[in-house]
Each structure stands twice: as structure tokens, then as C-alpha cells.
């Protein structure tokens, strides 16, 4: 078996079974550095489960996930984050009781151990980095606001910002434009286009217009398996895909 070290991420033969039901079944795909890889597929195709497996939230029944040559299936969640994988959840997952500043500060990659956190100082570097990210995610005027008072779209941005501040090599976004107003959606697309430069990104998205705009490569999942893979034009013209997904 080849080691596939040329790829940033190589997923091979990944299977997870919940009481006999295979949510992801013998899944293999590869992500190159700087590649924007979109996963699409009907509901229940195993898209979110695939991301859960990569970031360690769900443990694989069999198969391997290698990130820069490291086997992720054996690592703990926080170690996977330290290796350079960032994950955004489908529903905005932010700390409602803390301010926007504190949300970003907690995500700043320093002082991650218990005693590191006790000794952590809010120095110039932290403040500048938080300010820089806040400007990127359109929240520079909301830094002292409690996160629970943000709009749905702003919460999505905040979570994206929390990932950005970690500067991950691989960014995984689960439906980043879901539930947004039209104007928020436009702004988010612009934001995503900016932040995905220079890093590999895996995106799950239903918005086909958005997918066409950004995707380098598209993987279509169906019942936990890869149905089709390639460029958006290739995938769109694949009769199998039209059959199960786009045709509906």
C-alpha cells in the first residue's frame, strides 16, 4: 500500500457503522494542499459524518485518515486540532456567555494546557490578532458584545473567525451559508473566498451556485459511498448524479 504522503489528507476505506447501519461505507478521497474540495449529496448521504470522522468526533470502525502522514484515527480531538485541522459545525457553535473578543481569544492558539491557560496574558499580539480577525469577519464593532446577542449570520461569521485565528492547514466547513439572509450570504461568500486562499478546505454545501463558484473538486456522496468525483462540470453531467441528486 502506498503512503500517499503527497496528499495533504488521504481518506482510505473509511467505514463507520452504527449498530449495523453504515453511515459511511468504504469511503476514499484525497485532498491536495490548497485545494477547495466540496462534498455534496442528498440528506443522510454521510457528509457530516465524514467530517465528524476526520476531526475525531466520531470514531471510525475501519479505514484510515492520514493528514500530512499522521494517522488521525488514533489521535484525540484536541491533538487533531493541534495537527492543523479546524472544524466549523453546522449550527453556529460559539460561547454565548462570552464576548466576541473572548470567543476569539479562547480560540487563539496559545496557552492550551491548564497551566498555560492560567498564565495566559492578553498581550499586544493577542489583541492585534483578534482585531485583525474581527475586521475580516465584519465584527470589529461588536468586540465587547456578548455573543448571544449576535444575529444568526454574525454567529456563523464568529465561528469562522474562531477557526481562522487558529490558522489551520485544513479547514472543514459544514454548510457555512445555511440559514443566512441574501445579503449575509453574499458577504459570507466573499469572506470564504478570501479565507480559503492558501489552505485546503473541505466544504459541505447545498447551495449549487456557491459550490460552482468555489469548488476545485467535488465529491458526491450517496448512502455513505462516493457516487461521483471530479470537477463541477463533470459531476453535473454524470448521469448517476443526475439520477439521485440534481435531478430531483
Partner 1 sequence: MTPMLTSARKTELIGFVIVAAVILLLLPAVTDAFRLNLVGKYLTYAFVAVGLVLCWGSAGILSLGQGIFFGLGGYCMAMFLKLEASTPEATSIQSTPGIPDFMDWNQITALPWFWEPFHSFGFTLVAVVVVPAILAFIIGFAMFTRRVGGVYFAIITQAIAAILTILIIGQQGYTGGVNGITDLRTLLGWDIRTDSAKTILYFVNAFLLLAVIALSMAVRSSKLGRILVALRDKEDRVRFSGYDVAAFKIFVFCFAAAISGIGGAMFTLQVGFMSPSFVGIVPSIEMVIFCAVGGRHSLIGAVYGTLLVNWAKTSFSESFPELWLFAMGALFIAVVMAFPNGLAGLYTSHVQPLFKRFGRKSAGRSAASGTETPAIAE
Q: Which residues bind partner 1 (CB under 8 A)?
A: 55, 57, 76-78, 81-82, 86-87, 89, 93-98, 102-103, 105-107, 109, 111-114, 117-122, 159, 162, 166
The grid coordinates of residue 135 equal 475586521
Per-residue exposure over 70-98, b if at least 16 CB sit within 10 Å of its own CB, e if not:
eebbebeeeebbeebbbbbbeebebbeee
| Min dist. Cβ of residue 97 to partner 1 (A) | 5
CB closer to partner 1, 32 vs 140: 140
Q: At 54, give phi and psi (nearest 5°).
A: -65, -40
Distance in Å, CB of 111 to partner 1, minimum = 6
Q: By C-beta, is 28 or 166 nearer to partner 1?
A: 166
Contacts of residue 153, defined as CB under 8 A and 6 or more positions apart, other chains included, come to: 179, 180, 181, 184, 187, 188
CB of 238 to partner 1, least distance (A): 33
Nearer to partner 1 among residue 56 and residue 153 (C-beta): 56
Which of 47, 41, 96 has its CA nearest to residue 228? Answer: 41
- The nearer residue to partner 1, 76 or 248, going by C-beta atoms, is 76
Nearer to partner 1, 105 or 175 (CB): 105
Look at the chain and count its residues. Answer: 248
Shortest distance, CB of residue 123 to partner 1, whole angstroms?
9
Shortest distance in whole angstroms from residue 235 CB to partner 1: 29
| DSSP 8-state secondary structure symbol assigned to residue 56 | T
Least gap, CB of 210 to partner 1 (angstroms): 24
Contacts of residues 148-154 at CB distance under 8 Å and 24 or more positions apart, as own/partner, are 148/96, 148/97, 150/94, 150/100, 151/184, 152/92, 152/179, 152/180, 153/179, 153/180, 153/181, 153/184, 153/187, 153/188
Q: Which is nearer to partner 1, 117 or 186 (CB)?
A: 117
Amino acid at each position: 500500500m502506498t503512503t500517499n504522503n503527497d496528499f495533504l489528507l488521504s481518506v482510505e476505506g473509511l467505514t463507520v457503522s452504527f449498530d449495523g447501519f453504515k453511515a459511511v461505507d468504504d469511503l476514499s478521497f484525497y485532498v491536495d494542499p490548497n485545494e477547495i474540495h466540496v462534498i455534496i449529496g442528498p440528506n443522510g448521504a454521510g457528509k457530516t459524518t465524514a467530517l465528524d470522522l476526520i476531526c475525531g468526533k466520531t470514531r471510525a470502525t475501519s479505514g484510515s485518515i492520514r493528514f500530512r502522514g499522521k494517522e488521525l484515527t488514533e489521535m484525540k480531538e484536541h491533538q487533531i486540532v493541534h495537527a492543523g485541522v479546524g472544524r466549523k459545525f453546522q449550527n453556529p457553535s460559539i460561547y454565548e456567555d462570552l464576548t466576541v473578543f473572548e470567543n476569539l481569544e479562547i480560540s487563539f492558539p496559545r496557552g492550551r494546557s491548564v497551566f498555560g491557560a492560567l498564565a495566559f496574558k492578553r498581550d499586544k499580539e493577542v489583541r492585534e490578532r483578534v482585531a485583525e480577525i474581527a475586521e475580516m469577519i465584519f465584527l470589529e464593532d461588536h468586540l465587547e458584545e456578548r455573543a448571544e446577542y449576535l444575529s444568526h449570520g454574525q454567529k456563523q461569521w464568529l465561528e469562522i473567525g474562531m477557526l481562522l485565528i487558529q490558522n489551520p492547514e485544513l479547514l472543514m466547513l459544514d454548510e457555512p451559508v445555511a440559514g443566512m439572509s441574501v445579503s449575509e450570504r453574499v458577504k459570507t461568500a466573499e469572506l470564504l473566498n478570501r479565507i480559503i486562499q492558501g489552505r485546503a478546505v473541505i466544504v459541505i454545501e447545498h447551495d449549487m451556485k456557491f459550490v460552482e463558484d468555489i469548488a476545485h473538486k467535488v465529491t458526491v456522496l450517496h448512502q455513505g459511498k462516493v457516487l461521483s468525483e471530479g470537477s463541477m462540470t463533470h459531476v453535473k453531467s454524470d448521469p448517476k448524479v443526475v439520477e439521485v441528486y440534481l435531478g430531483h
